């Protein structure tokens, strides 16, 4: 056992040292080191099934499955992905970065293994066991609850490990979170025989009570609660148990391994365990940027008793949004704001303390958040829902049914739009335009810098005709046009950034792609190539008058966007041209390809798919210098 404790210490040190260099999910992984060791000690996950929820707790699992050599390039293209990744190892069953999915996929695998005759049972003791681990308050997600509801109908071994660290990314919200708070504070295990009677209700098939008592006797260090919340789903509930006590964890898991009915093992852990700074501020250290640990002599170390210096980054769109929203809420008392467990990640934390009665955190419940904001809109408030583009996908039905169909002005502020860098394919915001453009009367915008984000938010505050959205990336705001007057947003009108009397090519960028296009235009100008640049501002409606004018003058057009080429801004331009009978042969689209782009630096991802300034300049040069630029009649 001492060897396992030494292993836990080594794993923590390795994770801290690497995240300090590269950034990544720190506190969630430090909290599950002992739990990961115990799971791998008891189960054989080359044969048994292990499903992660969210997945940002997977670093210890990866180190235990032969991926230590990849750790030095954490979240880089050729290194360890920050989430479970089947391309990386057969031990990872799903590429997963969204909450709530593990229980449902585990139920599916349990049913599939049983149908294949490969599931564990008394008749097949060498069959596959199924374990799902869920934590960081993901249990409140609607899909997780649906999975629990169905898991209770299984007639076989099925283990859900609830990693209860009292935290989400920020403080967990809601009645379920409050229930677990009360349970964590309780040190009463209750009467053993009464608990035995409760569990016997869930043992089917004439199993002898003596066997039940035997199992419970082996689990005497745990609590089987008579009123456990999960019992109502038909799952036996064990715990809470100490998630950092390796011997007890191994004992409990060894017994749970042989239990032939669905079970929830409630494990209490400390988020950030073993690293004082992360334990004391698990929100900041949930997924920090690179940091340095310094001793009193100014020497850089990774050890306790030091001070931490987080790497300073440039002003971000997220930070700018928080201040813009705070200013708007100060001036307009009807504005309300909401986040789904991402108060820091979306900038909402900048307003939550200032306007506690008008700012809401629903927990990891995007669908509920969108519907709740529609209810606020129906009662005369101006709702702003700040959400990552990738997580908006889970609330699309609500954007359709409760917002667009009702004509309600739900306002979506889509952070992390486009490429997100190290988090990779599970988090890229690649389809928000494609989804939302299908909604009648929706107004879709993108911000290229801080002044344009402010102007877009001001426009949205006064837009009551239906759903509106503004997208912006996980990136620093550009200062390129910050000193220029920023025109107000006019419905469906683009902004001219660079103009020539006789341009050879027109670059229309959507969002920050307009900044990249401007950089490309400067490179082209040095070569004598004249490129006009426009900030599209709107994907719906498209500035069709601008497109008509350029086509009529025979000027080739290149649309640029940090979004999928399928259904994105460029597609909206082509659709608008078709509707207005405008020739499209002179229009070229640059966007994310129809394929997956994996983890790496955001700049690398942009360059890989040809939407960085150098690639835009190369494409513009190719288009502008074609032999024929004949005017197309319209």
The SS3 call for residue 39 is helix
The alpha carbon torsion through 549, 553, 558, 560 (nearest 10 deg) reads -20
List of E strands, 570-621: 587-592
Euclidean distance between the first and the last CA atom of the chain, given in angstroms as a whole number:
80
C-beta neighbour count of 111 within 10 angstroms: 17
Closest CA to 533 of 476, 465, 481: 481
Please give the pLDDT value at position 178. 52
C-beta neighbour count of 611 within 10 angstroms: 26
Backbone dihedral angles phi then psi of residue 245, each to the nearest 5 degrees: -95, 95
Distance CA 396, CA 366 (A): 9
CATH architecture of 495-624: 3-Layer(aba) Sandwich (3.40)
Inter-residue contact 530 to 500 (CB < 8 Å): yes
Q: Which CATH number fits domain 45-268: 3.40.50.1390, 3.40.50.970, 3.40.470.10, 3.40.630.30?
A: 3.40.50.970
Please give the pLDDT value at position 2. 78
List of E strands, 211-290: 236-242, 262-268
Inter-residue contact 369 to 397 (CB < 8 Å): no
Beta-bridge partner residues of 264: 160, 237
Closest CA to 425 of 97, 76, 99, 89: 97
The SS3 call for residue 143 is helix
Count of alpha carbons within 13 angstroms of residue 526, beta-carbon side: 6
* CA angle (602 as vertex; 597, 604 as ends), nearest 5: 75
Q: Which residues contact 383 (CB under 8 A, 6 or more apart)?
A: 336, 337, 338, 373, 374, 376, 377, 409, 410, 411
Give 585's DSSP letter. T
Please give the pLDDT value at position 211. 54
Please give the pLDDT value at position 168. 46
Distance CA 293, CA 310 (A): 9
Please give the pLDDT value at position 309. 54
CB burial class (10 A; 0-12, 13-18, 19+) of residue 335?
A: buried
Closest CA to 56 of 18, 85, 83: 83
Q: Where in the chain is the domain with CATH 3.40.50.970?
A: 45-268, 317-471
- Tell me the torsion sign for CA atoms 301, 303, 305, 310: positive
Distance CA 277, CA 289 (A): 14
C-beta neighbour count of 426 within 10 angstroms: 23
* Displacement of CA 431 from its chain's centroid (Å): 14
Q: Which residues contact 392 (CB under 8 A, 6 or more apart)?
A: 366, 399, 412, 414, 429, 432, 435
The SS3 call for residue 139 is helix
Backbone dihedral angles phi then psi of residue 615, each to the nearest 5 degrees: -70, -40
Please give the pLDDT value at position 274. 80
Distance CA 406, CA 413 (A): 20
Please give the pLDDT value at position 293. 64
In the block, tokens 């935290």 appear at 167
Q: In this predicted model, what pLDDT tens digit does every residue of 44-61 receive, in sequence order?
A: 999 999 999 988 899 999
| Rg of the chain in Å (alpha carbons) | 27
Inter-residue contact 321 to 387 (CB < 8 Å): no
The alpha carbon torsion through 395, 396, 397, 402 (nearest 10 deg) reads 80
* CA angle (516 as vertex; 474, 446 as ends), nearest 5: 55
- Give the largest Cα separation in the chain, rounded: 91
Please give the pLDDT value at position 303. 43
C-beta neighbour count of 258 within 10 angstroms: 13
Please give the pLDDT value at position 234. 83
Q: Point out the residues of the chain with pLDDT beneath 70.
A: 136, 166-228, 293-312, 627-634
Please give the pLDDT value at position 167. 53
The alpha carbon torsion through 75, 79, 82, 86 (nearest 10 deg) reads 140
Please give the pLDDT value at position 627. 66
Provide the b/e sequence for 565-594 (b: ≥16 CB within 10 Å): bebbbbbbbbebbeeeebeeebbbbbbbee
Please give the pLDDT value at position 549. 97
Q: What does the chain come to in residues?
A: 634
Q: Which CATH superfamily is domain 317-471 in?
A: Thiamin diphosphate (ThDP)-binding fold, Pyr/PP domains (3.40.50.970)
| Strand 335-339 versus strand 359-361 pairing type | parallel
Q: In this predicted model, what pLDDT tens digit does every residue of 437-488 receive, in sequence order?
A: 999 999 999 999 999 999 999 999 999 999 999 999 999 999 999 999 999 9
Q: Where in the chain is the domain with CATH 3.40.50.920?
A: 495-624
C-beta neighbour count of 361 within 10 angstroms: 23
Q: Which residues contact 627 (CB under 8 A, 6 or more apart)?
A: none
Closest CA to 472 of 484, 490, 485, 460: 460
In the block, tokens 């750790």 appear at 71
| Strand 411-415 versus strand 443-446 pairing type | unpaired
Distance CA 392, CA 340 (A): 10
| CA distances for 32 relative to 120, 230, 266, angstroms | 26, 22, 13
The SS3 call for residue 558 is strand
The SS3 call for residue 181 is helix
């Amino acid at each position: 056992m001492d060897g396992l404790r030494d292993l836990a210490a080594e794993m923590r040190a390795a994770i801290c040292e690497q995240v300090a260099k590269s950034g990544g999910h720190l506190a969630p992984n430090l909290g599950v080191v002992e739990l990961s060791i115990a799971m791998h000690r008891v189960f054989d996950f080359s044969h048994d099934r292990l499903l992660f929820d969210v997945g940002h707790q997977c670093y210890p699992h990866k180190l235990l499955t032969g991926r230590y050599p990849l750790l030095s390039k954490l979240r880089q293209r050729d290194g360890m992905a920050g989430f479970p990744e089947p391309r990386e190892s057969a031990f990872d069953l799903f590429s997963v970065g969204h909450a709530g999915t593990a229980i449902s996929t585990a139920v599916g695998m349990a049913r599939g293994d049983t149908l294949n005759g490969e599931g564990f049972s008394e008749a097949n003791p060498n069959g596959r066991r199924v374990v799902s681990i869920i934590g960081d308050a993901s249990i409140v997600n609607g899909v997780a609850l649906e999975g629990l509801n169905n898991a209770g109908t299984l007639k076989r071994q099925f283990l859900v490990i609830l990693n209860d660290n009292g935290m989400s990314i920020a403080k967990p919200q809601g009645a379920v979170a409050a229930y677990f708070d009360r349970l964590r504070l309780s040190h009463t295990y209750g009467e053993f025989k009464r608990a035995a009677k409760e569990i016997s209700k869930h043992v089917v098939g004439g199993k002898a009570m003596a066997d039940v008592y035997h199992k419970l006797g082996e689990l005497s260090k745990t609590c089987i609660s008579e009123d456990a919340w999960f019992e109502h789903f038909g799952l036996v509930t064990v715990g809470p148990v100490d998630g950092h006590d390796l011997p007890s964890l191994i004992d409990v898991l060894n017994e749970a391994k042989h239990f032939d009915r669905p079970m929830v093992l409630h494990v209490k852990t400390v988020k950030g365990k073993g690293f004082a700074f992360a334990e004391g501020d698990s929100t900041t250290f949930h997924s920090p940027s690179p940091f340095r640990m310094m001793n009193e002599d100014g020497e850089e170390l990774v050890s306790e008793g030091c001070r931490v210096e987080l790497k300073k980054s440039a002003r971000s769109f997220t930070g700018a949004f928080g201040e813009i929203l705070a200013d708007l809420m100060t001036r307009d008392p009807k504005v309300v704001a909401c986040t789904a467990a991402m108060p820091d990640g979306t900038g909402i934390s900048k307003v939550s303390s200032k306007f506690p009665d008008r700012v809401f955190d629903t927990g990891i419940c995007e669908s509920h958040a969108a519907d709740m904001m529609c209810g606020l809109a129906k009662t005369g408030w101006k709702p702003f829902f700040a959400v990552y583009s990738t997580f908006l996908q889970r609330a699309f039905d609500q954007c359709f049914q409760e917002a667009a169909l009702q004509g309600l002005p739900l306002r979506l502020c889509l952070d992390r739009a486009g490429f997100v860098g190290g988090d990779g394919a599970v988090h890229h915001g690649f389809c928000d335009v494609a989804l939302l453009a299908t909604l009648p009367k929706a107004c879709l915008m993108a911000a290229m810098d801080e002044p344009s984000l402010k102007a877009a938010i001001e426009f949205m505050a006064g837009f009551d005709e239906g759903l509106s959205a503004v997208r912006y990336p996980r990136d620093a705001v550009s200062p390129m046009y910050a000193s220029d007057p920023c025109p107000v947003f006019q419905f469906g009108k683009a902004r001219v950034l660079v103009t020539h009397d006789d341009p050879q090519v027109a670059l229309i960028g959507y969002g920050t792609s307009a900044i990249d296009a401007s950089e490309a235009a400067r490179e082209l100008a040095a070569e004598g190539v004249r490129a006009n640049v426009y900030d599209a501002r709107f994907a719906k409606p498209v500035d069709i008058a601008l497109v008509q004018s350029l086509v009529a003058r025979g000027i080739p057009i290149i649309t640029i966007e940090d979004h999928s080429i399928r259904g994105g801004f460029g597609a909206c331009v082509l659709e608008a041209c078709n509707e207005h009978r405008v020739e499209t042969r002179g229009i070229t689209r640059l966007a994310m390809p129809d394929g997956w782009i994996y983890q790496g630096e955001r700049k690398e991802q942009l360059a890989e798919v040809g939407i960085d300034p150098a690639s835009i300049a190369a494409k513009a040069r190719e288009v502008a210098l074609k032999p024929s630029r004949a005017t197309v009649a319209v």
